[in-house]
Structure 1
Amino acid sequence: MTADPIDQALFPPFDDAAGFDRIRADLGAFLPAIRAVCERHGLAASGLAAFERGTNVVVSNDAGQIIKLFPPFLRHQFEAERLALGRVHGNVPVATPEILREGELDGWPYLVMSRLPGRTLEEVWPALGGAERAEALARIGEIMTAAHALPTGGLESLDLGWDAFVERQIAGCEGRHRRMRLPERLVAQIPAYLASARPLLPTSVIPVLLTGEYTPENLLVTRTGGAWRVTGMIDFADACLGPAEYDLLGPCLFLAAGSAELQRAFLVACGTGIADLTPALSRKLMALALLHRYSNLGYQIRIEGWESQASSLSELEQLIWPFPVR
């Protein structure tokens, strides 16, 4: 990694993480830094366009490259993306960005990556029929299984430290979901619900590589033979090591969304046997969803009107994961 003394004026001022988020997608604010990266590495600085969604500064150029700037307080995301991409690229059955360059500007680490073709699954999902949706979820399950089988040596810095992590998440669970504006009747049930689910949670796990990004915004699809197919996966800044079940939540919540058939297509592709699609699995996954470090059920559950359909967390788990499925 290279690091040069750079004028602070390359980067706009901000007071905190919220301040950064407000300016993150403002290309003009970060144009001096982006141009400095392009000049340093001989990249095209034409056709620059910023991505509106995301956590970091992400800009594309017209040469098919992505420049991603990480503010100093998100250096851990830079490390996660760099390490995870280095492990998955060329080793999973889907395209992932190739890291072309990396470096640092005045404490801001950055990556230059190849840009993948396709549209996000989020864009096309509403237009997909049931069979196409089931095929997409099965495909995601195959990709996830391959990623979980990769060796984790050299990735130890990404380890969540699962048992201690779970304890911290349990301690802060009520407060988090109150801040996320989960209905109070459900927040009040969290302690008892987690106590009932505690024996089902993974413990003393042998960790696997979790990308944290099997969500429709970070899965790319292209149209092949008249059908949409998952062909790419992007954004590995939340990658970590932990139990395989932790990765199941994105597709289950965002995509399968209460459909027994879609849940089955995905989970069976991940190696879950039909006989294991039980109420106990529903409870374990619901508990993991509550404990996820980015849990925000109001955004993540894609079942219309779910707040009025579930008066309890037990009802909510069955609404999302209606097992047993035969």
Structure 2
Amino acid sequence: MPYLLPTIESWSDWSATFNDVDLWRPVIDAICDSEGIRYRSIQIPRSNTNAVFILDSQLVVKIYSPFWSEFDMEATLIEVLGANRTIPVPEIVAAGRYHDRVSWNYLIMEYLDGLTLDAVRPDSARRDLLRIATEVGRMTRSLHETPINPLGGVDTGESWDDMVDRRRRETLPELAGSGIITPQVSDALNVILEEVVANSNRSPRVVVHGDLESDHILLGRKDREWKITSVIDFGDAKIGVRDYEWMPLWLGLFDRDIEAMRVFLEAYDRSLLTDEELPRRVMAWTLLHDFGSDAITELIEKTNTPTPVVTLGELRQILWPGLEELFDVCGEARFYLRSDLLPRDLPE
């Protein structure tokens, strides 16, 4: 039988093909035929890195990239969350593998309509936006309280410790190599990363979504208020430390809105607002996040910030402006970079 797909051997091959409806339609037809599904129309969502297609605004077919292991974690976690009924997630209609040159894992899920925070923000009152931040805080707390035992044997392709070690090696060379930070700033950040990673070994492990940005939290109106109608795309979920969750929320969903972040933390765990080490961990896990270097680079470009950034204080104001205010509200903790841990000649 002739193959339906071309040879896909690299990220370049994948990025050129995964959104091509005409290319994937025969595969979708074959999968749907095997699952007894009929459809008329196909759309692609606004944001994805897998081959994702919306059928008749009723179903979502997600065919996973062969270059990373997301299928097992996402399928298992959605089943666990759906059974717990603590977080609104799409129902899985079918799951399987389709063979065409290689085996392609796929999920078919119900399509849940909703608006993103980016879509509703321009026309929403400030109080509505803060209510959404509160909703997200409660939802994230529920996610992090999810028992991890059912996920213990799930194949994620890379262990948490291996991911942290890899990002520990990659992140500062990436930023320094692209001219975003100076070697002096890199040296100072290296000290912070070393300390935070060492301390994280004593932190409890929780389920983290890994990419709680605007496209992955869908909203709808209920009783004249915005409510979370669905949380989607658990492909980047991990069993790790909860601080890994903050970067997409801070730089993505809340777009560095300090008041929204404060309200989120109040709903999630108010004790974090008096945790004087939190800003250092936020800084470190922004860098250690799998998408951290890309997010920082994108922000630097969006804000037309001159590079290289030559001090930690300047970098802090670009990436984490207003964190002092976050703690001033409670009148206790303050953002600080401990001078005893900085290279002697580096200005703060």
Q: TM-score, normalised by structure 2?
A: 0.81
Cα deviation for residue 102 of structure 1 reads 0.8
Q: 3-state SS of the aligned residue for 1:68?
A: strand
Alignment of 1:137-286 (within 5 A): 137-156=133-152, 157=154, 161-178=159-176, 181=178, 183-185=180-182, 189-201=185-197, 202-273=200-271, 275-276=273-274, 278=276, 280-286=277-283
Question: Which amino acid letter does the alignment assign opposite residue 63 of structure 2?
Answer: L
1:314 aligns with 2:310: no
Q: 3-state SS of the aligned residue for 1:251?
A: helix
Q: 3-state SS of the aligned residue for 1:184?
A: coil
* Contact 2:272–2:278 under 8 Å retained in 1: no
Question: Which amino acid letter does the alignment assign opposite residue 168 of structure 2?
Answer: I
* Contact 1:97–1:116 under 8 Å retained in 2: yes
Question: Which amino acid letter does the alignment assign opposite residue 24 of structure 2?
Answer: F
Gaps of 5+ in 2: 330-348
Question: Which amino acid letter does the alignment assign opposite residue 83 of structure 1?
Answer: T
2:244, 2:168 → 1: CA distance? 15
Cα deviation for residue 92 of structure 1 reads 5.0
Change (3 A) 1:311 1:125: farther
Q: 3-state SS of the aligned residue for 1:194?
A: helix
Change (3 A) 1:113 1:242: same
Cα deviation for residue 175 of structure 1 reads 2.6
Question: Which amino acid letter does the alignment assign opposite residue 321 of structure 2?
Answer: I
* Contact 1:99–1:111 under 8 Å retained in 2: yes
Give aligned pairs, total: 316
* Contact 2:192–2:284 under 8 Å retained in 1: no
* Contact 2:184–2:310 under 8 Å retained in 1: no
Question: Which amino acid letter does the alignment assign opposite residue 249 of structure 1?
Answer: M
Question: Which amino acid letter does the alignment assign opposite residue 10 of structure 1?
Answer: L
* Contact 2:243–2:281 under 8 Å retained in 1: no
Cα deviation for residue 96 of structure 1 reads 0.6
Aligned-pair Cα RMSD in Å: 2.7
Deviations 1:178-233 (A, max 9, x none): 56x46233x65123223035334422333111111311011101123444332211
Instruction: Report the counterpart of residue 333 of structure 2 in structure 1.
Output: none
Instruction: Report the counterpart of residue 4 of structure 1 in structure 2.
Output: none
- Stretch moving more, 297-306 or 129-138: 297-306
1:265, 1:308 → 2: CA distance? 32
1:116, 1:147 → 2: CA distance? 19
Gaps of 5+ in 1: 1-6
Question: Which amino acid letter does the alignment assign opposite residue 70 of structure 2?
Answer: Q
1:125 aligns with 2:121: yes
Q: 3-state SS of the aligned residue for 1:307?
A: coil
Change (3 A) 1:164 1:50: closer
Instruction: Report the counterpart of residue 292 of structure 1 in structure 2.
Output: 289
Question: Which amino acid letter does the alignment assign opposite residue 314 of structure 1?
Answer: G
Percent of aligned pairs with the same residue?
A: 23
Match of 1:37 among 25, 31, 37: 31
Instruction: Report the counterpart of residue 101 of structure 1 in structure 2.
Output: 94
2:314, 2:267 → 1: CA distance? 26
- Stretch moving more, 254-263 or 133-142: 254-263
Report runs of 4+ in structure 1 exceeding 6 Å deviation: none
Match of 1:58 among 52, 58, 82: 52
1:27, 1:195 → 2: CA distance? 47
